[in-house]
Amino acid sequence: MAAASSKAESRLMAKATYRLTDPETEVYIGDCREVLDGLPEKSVDLIFADPPFNWDVPYGEWDDSRSREEYLTFTQQWLDACLRVLNGHGSLWVNIPDDTAAEIVVHLKRRGMTMINWCIWHFRFGQHRVGNFIVSKVHALYFARNRETRIWNPDTVLEPSDRAAIYDDPRTRETKQPGLRVPLDVWYGPLWGRIQGNNRERRKNHQNQIPEVYLERVIRACSNDGHLVLDPFLGSGTTCTVARALRRRSIGIEYSGQNAASAWERIQSGPIRLGPGVPETNSFMAHRKRGGNGTHPSSTGPALFGDSDSAPAESDPKP
């Protein structure tokens, strides 16, 4: 009984360090496993997690150079803590590199979660190396409690199709959403690159950031106005910043008090990129202009989009 009482009390002790209303936005400081244990069961609609990769990155007090066994145990523990608070129509996204993607997929499937997509976030500026091919991607694992009842808003994230944007195929004008399609499962294009040192989105003293367009796509597609979005590894605050701008309630958990304070400043300031802009094509090919004889001549070559308004930064330790 004493152990059960202690457990119940711990779940009543969770208290946000920072809080805003309309929409409700909270940031907690501490170990996400402990904070999650203090939140109500099945209370969250969408979870986005970008955990430490265990690549010996300086995250303040956090030890990012654990043994493989310890890191995998930690990974399973925070995943299970997230699943406890995820509701029946909720989705869970995990941003993770090659090292641990397979282990996370296996664990979530064993816990009864349904994989919806194994997406890839692709960027053009990977860290230079000579011992193996340069890493230019991170896995974006998309799981749901139930494929049929999950929140899914494809019309909010449509983008121009190659048939429309590159080839002017007249058939695309006859579709339900003329010239538009649901994004591919490989994500790249303008503003989708790593957030480098001279990028307008960059927050000082944060080792890595995910671009705002990434979180905008996830939040628009997998939640509705007023829903609760949770990030167990808040970092620079991208998730809560974008969620708040999209009128979602949100909870961020951050181990470092210093990082949490910086993230809170950003959350209050709002996003840099978010707006009602027209979707852009992210095709690697240039538009094939129609020639004088009505044909589509080959372009001079593929037009590779830059990742963002930034230059490569060799000092960034995490791709």
Closest CA to 244 of 221, 255, 228: 228
Strand duo 25-29 + 44-49: pairing: unpaired
Asked if 57 and 64 count as a contact pair (C-beta separation under 8 A), the reply is yes
Highest mean predicted confidence (pLDDT) among 10-19, 21-30, 123-132, 304-313: 21-30
Q: How confident is the model at residue 277 (pLDDT cuts 50, 70, 90)?
A: low
Q: Which residue has the higher pLDDT, 275 or 36?
A: 36
Mean pLDDT of all residues in 19-29: 97
Q: How confident is the model at residue 13 (pLDDT cuts 50, 70, 90)?
A: low
pLDDT, tens only, 55-107: 777 777 778 788 999 999 999 999 999 999 999 999 999 999 999 999 999 99
pLDDT surpasses 90 at 273: no
CA distance 213 to 121: 11
Q: 11-269: what fold?
A: Rossmann fold (3.40.50)
| CA atoms within 13 Å, Cβ hemisphere of 147 | 5
pTM of the model: 0.83
Q: Which residue has the higher pLDDT, 253 or 131?
A: 253
> Residue 304 has what pLDDT?
38
pLDDT surpasses 50 at 233: yes
pLDDT surpasses 70 at 264: yes
Q: Which residue has the tokens 């955990």?
A: 51
The alpha carbon of 314 is separated from its chain's Cα centroid by a whole number of angstroms, namely 23
Residue 188 one-letter amino acid: Y
The DSSP-derived string for 192-210 is -S---TT-TTPPTT-S---
pLDDT surpasses 90 at 276: no
> Residue 319 has what pLDDT?
40
SS3 category, 172: helix
Distances (CA, A) of 229 to 34, 62, 78, 139, 190: 18, 24, 16, 20, 25
Look over the chain and give the mean of its residue pLDDT values, rounded to a whole number. 83
CA distance 159 to 113: 28
Q: Which residues pair with 180 in a beta bridge?
A: 160
Task: Quote the percentage of the chain above a pLDDT of 90.
Answer: 57
The DSSP-derived string for 23-79 is TTEEEEES-HHHHHHTSPTT-EEEEEE----SS---BTTB-----HHHHHHHHHHHH
> Residue 316 has what pLDDT?
38
pLDDT, tens only, 126-166: 677 788 898 899 999 999 999 999 999 999 999 888 776 67
Supply the DSSP symbol for 156.
G
Domain segments of the chain: what residues?
11-269
